[in-house]
Homo-oligomer: A and B are copies of this chain.
Amino acid sequence: MATIYEVSALAGVSLSSVSRVLNDHQHVSEKTKKKVMDAMQELGFRPNSVARSLASNRSNCIGILVSELHGPFYGAMLSEIETELRKAGKHSIVTAGHSNEQSEKEGIEFLIDRNCDALIMLVDALPNEYFVKLKKNKTPFTVLNRHIPEIEDNCFYLDNELGGYLATKHFIEHGHKHIAYISGPLSKQDATDRFHGHQRALKEANIPLNDALVVEGDYLIQSGRDGMASLLDTGINFTAVACANDEMAAGAMKTVRDRGFTMPDDYSIIGFDNVFFTEYLYPQLSTINFPIKDMAKMSTQWILKHVYKQKNIDVENFFKPELITRESISHI
């Protein structure tokens, strides 16, 4: 691979000049610019981005840390960020944190050590204080699906409580009074928020919360199956079940069908997130939309604005969930 030296030699100009045209600096005459371009062309020169990054302390790379690389939710997010970044001529380096404090930390350090210009993170094990401290570092960052009061501007988050409320309220409006709930892991903020929304809707309708009708899952499909099974096993009468995410809803639907019941006649179900496969399910799953793509896009806008100083960018940190009505809920 040719280096800038060879280009400079072939073009008959100095290193600095080559560097200047490489970086599109002002104060380079058209003549030398052309000479350099031709030489680059001839040599098939491609700048070594590692060297550039070392010398300039700039990488044009954004580090992305998500819990997992698979799954509909993270997939949508990654894809959106990558697309937006590429439009702006930036690149993404993505790594996974596996919902584990140690490996989340390693991931962040890895990205910083690779000289990323900024970070976009969606993680759940690291505590808030970590991010508050991290802000003292030089690498700017953004946090998704999390509200950290001390660094609000860096956060992009959804009103999860409202989402939970909307879901259960929708059931109530359809005449349901006995509503079960399969929650996410209550150690996570979004899970508790969603659950609180559920409780608020119940309270508003003067329906007491029946603890026996609440089970805690882990956001994975199996826990939806198991959760629904144990709900059914209680023998308590209920007609609807709100799930804290779509995966668990899919699991619950499976159990309902395995037990010989139908949906939505015997049981109405609602999910949360509105991931792509909710439309493939039968019946199609009503759910709460989590505008992850919008949030992902917005967080890259934030970076374009704050890190690369692009103008005319408006940033919005707070997002509202919306009810998506499909076929999984019946009137009573």
The interface of chain A, by Cβ under 8 A from chain B, is: 46-51, 53-54, 59, 68-72, 74-76, 78-79, 82-83, 86, 91-96, 103, 109-110, 113-115, 221, 250, 253-254, 257, 277, 279-282
Contact = CB atoms under 8 A, between A and B. Distances in A.
Contacts of A109: 46
Contacts of A50: 50, 53-54, 59, 113-115
Q: What secondary structure prevails in chain A residues at the interface with B?
A: helix
20 contacts: A46-B113, A48-B54, A48-B113, A50-B54, A50-B114, A54-B54, A69-B78, A70-B72, A70-B79, A72-B72, A75-B75, A82-B96, A86-B96, A91-B95, A93-B93, A250-B277, A253-B282, A254-B279, A254-B280, A282-B282
* Nearest 6 CB-CB pairings of A with B: A70-B75, A70-B79, A69-B78, A282-B282, A69-B79, A250-B280
Given A49-B113, A49-B114, A54-B50, A257 B280 contact: no
A296 to B, nearest CB: 11
B95 A82 contact: yes
Nearest to A59: B50
A83 B95 CA distance: 10
A217 to B, nearest CB: 16
B69 A96 contact: no
Contacts of A253: 280, 282
Nearest to A94: B94
A221 B278 CA distance: 13
Contacts of A103: 86
Contact of A277 (B46, B114, B280): B280
A69 B82 contact: yes
